C-alpha cells in the first residue's frame, strides 16, 4: 500500500487499485500521484474524515488485486477506483520467480549508478538477457502466460468478474478507469482487448471512466505510464465521479 497509515474511525474511505500506472513507481514523487491528490481533496470535502488509499504494484493484474483484498480485506471502503488498461485483460499470474531475472526486479544493487541509468533508461537491455538461465526463464514465462490465457474463458482473466461480483456483494461502488496506451490515444481507438474491457463494463452495467476522452499526450512519460501532469489530470478527471458516488451512498 503506497499510502500513509490508516486513520481509525475514518468515515469515507476509497481504495485505489491497479498496477504501475496508478502506483507511479520511482520516477513519480508520492505527492504527485493521482491518489495523493484525491486524498487531499477527500479530506477537504469531508472535513478531514476521509482517506484515499493507493493499493498497487508494478505488473499487478486483476488476480494480484483480488489476492490482496482476500488477504487484507477492503478496509471498510465505500468505493473502489480501479485503473485498468488493455493489457490487463489477459494479465494472468504465472507464479514463476522473477526477482533477479528481469530488469524491473533486480536482486542486487548495481555496481555503478551511471551504468544502471544508461542500461535501464537508454539502452533498455533486459536484465541478464544474455545468460542461458534468463533465456530458459523467459521461455517458461511466455509459455505460462499463453497457457493461462488459453485456459481462461475467451482468454480473459477470471479475476475480473470476481472483483466485480465482490464489490456487488459488499455494496462497494466500483468505478473503473480505462487508461489508454499512448498509441491508442494517438489513434483514438482501443485495441481489441480494450474494447473487451468496455464490453465487460457495459454487460455488468458499470459506469466507467473512459480515459481516452480526457488524457493528453503531454501527460505520458512513455507508452503507458503517466508523468506528473498525467497523474494530476487523472485526479481532476476521476474525483468528481468518486465524490458523486459517495454522496449518493449517503443519501
Give residue 58's domain range: 12-92+157-250
Structural domains of the chain, count: 2
Is 7 a domain residue?
no
| 130 in the same domain as 86 | no
Residue 88 sits in a domain of what CATH number?
A: 3.40.50.1110
Which among 106, 131, 151 is the end of a domain?
Answer: 151
Which among 113, 128, 151 is the end of a domain?
Answer: 151
Given a contact cutoff of 8 angstroms between Cβ atoms, the answer to whether 246 and 79 are in contact is: yes
Q: What three-state secondary structure class fits 25?
A: coil
Four-point Cα dihedral 190, 194, 196, 197, nearest 10: -130
Given a contact cutoff of 8 angstroms between Cβ atoms, the answer to whether 36 and 65 are in contact is: no
14-30 residue pLDDT tens:
999 999 999 998 889 99
Is 1 a domain residue?
no
Mean pLDDT score across all residues of the chain: 86
Helices (H), the chain: 20-23, 34-45, 62-72, 113-118, 132-151, 159-169, 182-187, 192-203, 228-250
Mean pLDDT of 66-75: 95
Is the pLDDT at 155 greater than 60? The verdict is no
| 216 in the same domain as 194 | yes
| 164 in the same domain as 49 | yes
CA 72 to chain centre: 18
Mean pLDDT of 142-171: 73
| 46 in the same domain as 85 | yes
What does each C-alpha distance from 13 to 2, 180, 190, 193, 237 come to in angstroms?
A: 15, 26, 31, 31, 19
More confident residue, 153 or 250: 250
Is the pLDDT at 130 greater than 70? The verdict is no
What percentage of residues in the chain have a pLDDT greater than 90?
A: 61
Residue 126 banded pLDDT, cuts 50, 70, 90: low
| 238 in the same domain as 182 | yes
Given a contact cutoff of 8 angstroms between Cβ atoms, the answer to whether 144 and 176 are in contact is: no
Nearest to 104 by CA among 88, 127, 123: 127
What does each C-alpha distance from 43 to 38, 57, 82, 206, 250 come to in angstroms?
A: 9, 24, 20, 26, 16
Q: Identify the weakest region by mean pLDDT among 32-46, 136-150, 151-165, 217-231.
A: 136-150
171-197 residue pLDDT tens:
999 999 999 999 999 999 999 999 999
| 225 in the same domain as 235 | yes
Amino acid at each position: 500500500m503506497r499510502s500513509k497509515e490508516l486513520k481509525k474511525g475514518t468515515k469515507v474511505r476509497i481504495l485505489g487499485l491497479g498496477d504501475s500506472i496508478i502506483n507511479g513507481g520511482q520516477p513519480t514523487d508520492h505527492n504527485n500521484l493521482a491518489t495523493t491528490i484525491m486524498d487531499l481533496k477527500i479530506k477537504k470535502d469531508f472535513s478531514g474524515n476521509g482517506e484515499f488509499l493507493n493499493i498497487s504494484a508494478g505488473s499487478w493484474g486483476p488476480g494480484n488485486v483480488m489476492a490482496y483484498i482476500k488477504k487484507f480485506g477492503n478496509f471498510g471502503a465505500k468505493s473502489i477506483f480501479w485503473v485498468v488498461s488493455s493489457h490487463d485483460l489477459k494479465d494472468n499470474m504465472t507464479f514463476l520467480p522473477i526477482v533477479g531475472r528481469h530488469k524491473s526486479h533486480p536482486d542486487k544493487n548495481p555496481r555503478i549508478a551511471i551504468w544502471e541509468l544508461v542500461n535501464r533508461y537508454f539502452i533498455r537491455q533486459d536484465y541478464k538477457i544474455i545468460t542461458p538461465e534468463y533465456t530458459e526463464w523467459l521461455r517458461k514465462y511466455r509459455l505460462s502466460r499463453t497457457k493461462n490465457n488459453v485456459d481462461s474463458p475467451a482468454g480473459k482473466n477470471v479475476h475480473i468478474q470476481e472483483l466485480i461480483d465482490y464489490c456487488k456483494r459488499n455494496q462497494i461502488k466500483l468505478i473503473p478507469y480505462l487508461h489508454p496506451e499512448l498509441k491508442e490515444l494517438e489513434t483514438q481507438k482501443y485495441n481489441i482487448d480494450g474494447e473487451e474491457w468496455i464490453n465487460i463494463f457495459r454487460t455488468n452495467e458499470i459506469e466507467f471512466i473512459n480515459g481516452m476522452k480526457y488524457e493528453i499526450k503531454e501527460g505520458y512519460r512513455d507508452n503507458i505510464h503517466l508523468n506528473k501532469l498525467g497523474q494530476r489530470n487523472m485526479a481532476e478527471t476521476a474525483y468528481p465521479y468518486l465524490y458523486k458516488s459517495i454522496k449518493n451512498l449517503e443519501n
